[in-house]
């Protein structure tokens, strides 16, 4: 069974508690220096032993002004990921900045046993994707999000009217040859 929780950007912080955050929200702050952006994470704001989880990712996205954040728990039978997070950005530049900041926060909190992650869609203006293993983050522009409707795809699969209208196609019986009945011809010398 899949469970989805969509959080509007102005939703009360109490909704984040369901995602694993305590009542005191932990924040990752961005400090701008004259030559580069760097993470300024203070010990009293974030617990570095906690690691990078869904609650922290949602908190970072909210801080980066992501809108319409949706967290979907993916069924374990699919063996793809545990959670899919979908969020919207206001412009291609905003999407890129959010993706880069999320990557920096992950790298700061990453444990040695966790795998490295990559940003997919670096050259794409309307959709960025980061696969963390246990979480997959999709950052999209609103128009792109409306076009692909990933929330419906992952939450309403069995109830999707369009999927029910598609006729079930079966393969013809001769599509896959039976290896036992069709053996290669051997030439015999007489």
CATH code of the domain containing 82:
3.30.460.10
Counting residues of the chain whose pLDDT is more than 70, the rounded percentage is 56
Q: pTM for the complete prediction?
A: 0.61
131 in any annotated domain: yes
Domain count within the chain: 1
pLDDT at 172: 66
120 near 131, Cβ under 8 Å? Answer: yes
Mean pLDDT along residues 51-73:
93
Residue 61 belongs to some domain of the structure:
yes
pLDDT of 158 reads 61
**Would you state the structure tokens that stand for residue 96, as one six-digit string?**
């890129």
The lowest-confidence range among 16-30, 53-67, 81-95, 132-146 is 16-30
**115: which residues sit within 8 A by CB, 6+ positions away?**
133
Report yes or no on 73 lying in a domain. Answer: yes
pLDDT of residue 152: 84
DSSP code of residue 25:
-
Asked if residue 137 belongs to a domain, the reply is yes
**Cα(60)–Cα(72) distance, integer angstroms:** 17
Question: For residue 26, what are its two tokens?
Answer: 């932990």
Flag whether 35 is in a domain: no
Range(s) of the domain holding residue 73:
3-25+52-158
For 46-50, 62-66, 146-150, which range has the lowest pLDDT when averaged over its residues? 46-50
In whole angstroms, how large is the CA radius of gyration of the chain?
23
Half-sphere exposure of 123 (CA within 13 A, CB side): 0
Lowest mean pLDDT among 1-15, 46-60, 65-79, 160-174: 1-15
CB 135 within 8 A of CB 57: yes
């Amino acid at each position: 069974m899949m469970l989805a929780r969509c959080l509007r950007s102005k939703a009360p912080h109490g909704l984040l508690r369901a995602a694993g955050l305590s009542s005191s929200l932990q924040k990752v702050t961005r400090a701008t220096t004259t030559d580069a952006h760097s993470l300024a994470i203070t010990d009293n704001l974030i617990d570095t032993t906690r690691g990078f989880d869904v609650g922290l990712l949602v908190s970072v996205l909210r801080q980066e002004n992501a809108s319409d954040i949706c967290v979907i728990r993916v069924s374990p039978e699919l063996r793809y990921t545990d959670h899919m997070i979908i969020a919207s950005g206001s412009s291609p530049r905003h999407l890129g900045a959010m993706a880069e900041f999320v990557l920096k926060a992950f790298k700061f909190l990453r444990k040695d046993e966790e795998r490295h992650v990559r940003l997919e869609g670096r050259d794409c203006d309307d959709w960025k994707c980061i696969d963390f293993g246990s979480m997959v983050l999709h950052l999209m522009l609103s128009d792109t999000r409306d076009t692909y409707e990933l929330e419906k795809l992952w939450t309403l699969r069995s109830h999707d009217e369009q999927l029910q209208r598609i006729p079930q196609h079966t393969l013809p019986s001769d599509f896959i040859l039976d290896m036992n009945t069709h053996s290669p011809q051997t030439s015999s010398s007489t």
